[in-house]
Amino acid sequence: MPKSAPKPLQLEAHERQALQQLVSRHSTPQQIALRAWIILLADQGRNHREIARELGISRDMARTWRERWLTVGEQDVELLERLKDKERSGASATFELEQVLHLFKLACDPPSAYNRPISQWSHRELGKLIQQLTGRELWV
């Protein structure tokens, strides 16, 4: 049984021009440029198989980005945002930037500054020091 044709995708002139500029710009990240190509080819009426073959990607990838473009486009999101990855699930960052910078400072200081009888830090020694200073166990 033949599969149905992909959803039609029609770009407006300013969208097409912006995508072509993204593809042409040397500073565009490769993932974004590839996604822009997918959308431009879909706009030309190509199906997922043709897009996949031309760009050397999977049909699933072509399908995913066409569908995401159509779905996110309904939400009136900026063009470049439409080509970015979705937010990933999972826990948010455990430490704030100031805390991370403080950890780097600790790692750069000599162990003797914290009365440690070692010549250089190991991950275990840093973990023990951080646990003593913060009361949080990171790694040991």
pLDDT given for residue 2 in this prediction: 53
The overall pTM is greater than 0.75: no
Residue 33's nearest CA partner among 42, 41, 24 is 24
pLDDT given for residue 39 in this prediction: 94
Query: What are the extents of the domains in the chain?
Result: 13-82, 97-134
- What average pLDDT does this structure show over 77-84? 84
Q: In this predicted model, what pLDDT tens digit does every residue of 7-20 receive, in sequence order?
A: 888 888 999 999 99
Q: Which contiguous run of DSSP H or E holds residue 16?
A: helix 13-24
pLDDT given for residue 44 in this prediction: 93
